[in-house]
Amino acid sequence: MHRVHNFSAGPAALPLSVLEKMQAELLDWQGRGYSVMEMGHRTPMFREIVDQSERDLRELMHIPKDYSVLFLPGGARVQFAMLPMNLSANYPCIDFIETGFWSQTAIAEAKRYANVNIVASSKQDHYSYIPARDTWQLNPNAAYCYYTANETIEGVEFYDIPDVGDIPLVCDMTSNILARPIEVSRFGVIFAGAQKNAGIAGLTLVIIRNDLLQRQKLPHTPSVFDYALEAEKSSLLITPPTFSWYVTSLVLNWLKEQGGLEAIAKINQQKSDLLYQIIDEYDCYTNPIQKQCRSRSNVVFRLANAELEHQFLQQAEARDLFFLKGHAVSGGIRASLYNAVPLETVQILAEFMREFANTIG
């Protein structure tokens, strides 16, 4: 078997032991004579996966009792529409912090359903920082205040949860959920597509404070987009992506085996520190993001020109260092360091970066 050092931004690397478990159980799940994909989502057997994954997520993230946990079909972008549909009726606007491609995309979608108030933006400066909290022009009557905890493409991350008073805080955590402990009680809604740090494509985790389930929906909200209905049906309204849900349950179990979020956070910190240290040490690498908000999930850097970046990527691949090309929107190099990327893998990349820097002088 040959496996590369995988720095994919998403869908991303999975822990090897999770893949092995999937493989071992594929034809005959738990000795029952069928695969996990070949049984009803309402069976007591699938219910075990449903209940265990919710218990594990609640335990790992210390989710308070007054929050519901939903496992919804579709990608993170589905939430860009579901949020305004479910939460913005009878409110004058939604407040948004614009810090990169993903918040910009969420704003464009929300505009189709609601008034959008961009309370702060770093767009003019190519999304290279997070606007200081004291510059934000919040509307005290906003339906909610929305931000993106980690901008996966630009490589910008909020290190602190912003204080927005009594306005419910809504957060896209697709690229850094489960990367470290966070205080869930500070949020109205947290959501994350599973394919970066919590499993494979097809499933999105939504953690929502129960009082928000009571809000009136926009008149044409499809019933399949109704948070309250999905909560009432234990996320089984639509046949859920059962295999994706199963993989998430394996990933959550793996995280518990690693010692939970405190333990994984320490490793994650070492991983990103290692790469930023090299970027700062060698003149040939540049990272345009202000130091106090450099992403720990997606380390983005550039070389002097496209030719050098091409050489870097080619030589990296020759050493089994894969998927380091930056997103088409931003170019350059990007190393995604999600939970399933081991420290040793990042050390191998770091070694290569030093060598490459030395050879080009």
Ligand X SMILES: *Cc1c(COP(=O)(O)O)cnc(C)c1O
Residues at the interface with ligand X (CB under 6 A): 10, 75-77, 102, 148, 152, 172, 174-175, 193, 196
How many C-beta neighbours within 10 Å does residue 195 have?
26
Specify whether the CB–CB gap between 165 and 188 falls below 8 A. no
Q: Residue 176's CB: how many other CB atoms inside 10 A?
A: 26
> Which residue number, 11 or 181, has a Cβ lying nearer to ligand X?
11
Strand locations in the chain (E): 5-6, 67-73, 94-98, 116-121, 145-148, 150-151, 156-157, 169-172, 189-193, 203-209, 298-301, 321-322, 333-336
Residue 119 CB, shortest distance to ligand X, in Å, is: 19
- Could you report how far apart the first and last alpha carbons of the chain are, in Å? 36
| 233 in active site | no
CB of 240 to ligand X, least distance (A): 15
The nearest distance, CB 45 to ligand X, in angstroms, is 27
**260, 248, 235, 244: which is closest to 198 by C-alpha?**
248
Q: How far is the CB of 198 from ligand X (least distance, A)?
A: 11
The minimum distance between CB 171 and ligand X, in angstroms, equals 10
16-25 helix and 242-257 helix, angle to the nearest 10 degrees: 130
Which of 29, 196, 226, 271 does the annotation list as catalytic? 196
Cβ-based neighbour number of residue 325 at 10 Å: 18
By the 8 A CB rule, do 333 and 313 touch? yes
Look at the alpha carbons of 345, 351, 356, 357 in this order and tell me if their dihedral is positive or negative.
positive
Does the active-site annotation cover 172? yes
Q: Name residues whose C-beta falls within 8 Å of residue 62's C-beta, 6 or more positions apart in sequence.
A: 181, 184
Residue in 172, 226, 254, 271 annotated catalytic: 172
DSSP-derived letter for residue 361 is -
Residue 202, phi-psi category: left (phi > 0), alpha (psi -120 to 50), beta (remainder): left
User: Alpha-carbon distance 327 to 204, whole Å?
Assistant: 22
Q: β-strands 156-157, 150-151: how paired?
A: antiparallel
- Residue sitting closest to ligand X (CB): 75
In the residue annotation, 196 being an active-site residue is answered as: yes
How long, in residues, is the chain? 361
CB of 151 to ligand X, least distance (A): 7
What residues are labeled active site? 102, 172, 196
